[in-house]
Amino acid sequence: MHELSIVADLFTIIEEQSRQVGAKRVTKVRVLIGELSGVVPELFRTAFHSYKKGTIADKARLEIKVTRVKFKCHGCGQEIKTGDISSPDFSYACPFCGSKEVELISGRDLCLEKLEIET
């Protein structure tokens, strides 16, 4: 479960940011997890709740936003938001022009989007 090591790194950031602004506690943490990031949101949530005990974020609420896969077609310039990437009908070809020359522009993200703190 690599989610635990990711959460450990997240808490390094949370604690550093909290220290910089003199926070007493963190009340909310929002993360973006891309569909292709390799991170399972429910495992991430479980790891977060286990790891937060005894930290500045002990009572923090975790909010996870899953970012969908989005491509830009080099053939026609369209941005393509995909449906369910686990569907057997999923294709990396542009539905507008059929080109397979597409660039992934979102969906691999994994980032801390927001911290809410009390000072």
- Let me know if residue 85 belongs to a domain: no
What global pTM score does this model have? 0.83
- Let me know if residue 99 belongs to a domain: no
CATH number, domain with residue 13: 3.30.2320.50
- Let me know if residue 101 belongs to a domain: no
Q: What is the pLDDT of residues 43-77, one digit of tens each?
A: 999 999 999 999 999 999 999 999 988 999 999 99
Q: Which domain holds residue 47?
A: 3-68+106-118
Domain count, the chain: 1
- Let me know if residue 64 belongs to a domain: yes
Percent of the chain residues topping a pLDDT of 70 = 93
Question: Cβ(10)–Cβ(44) under 8 Å?
Answer: no
Characterise 46 by phi-psi region: left (phi > 0), alpha (psi -120 to 50), beta (else).
alpha
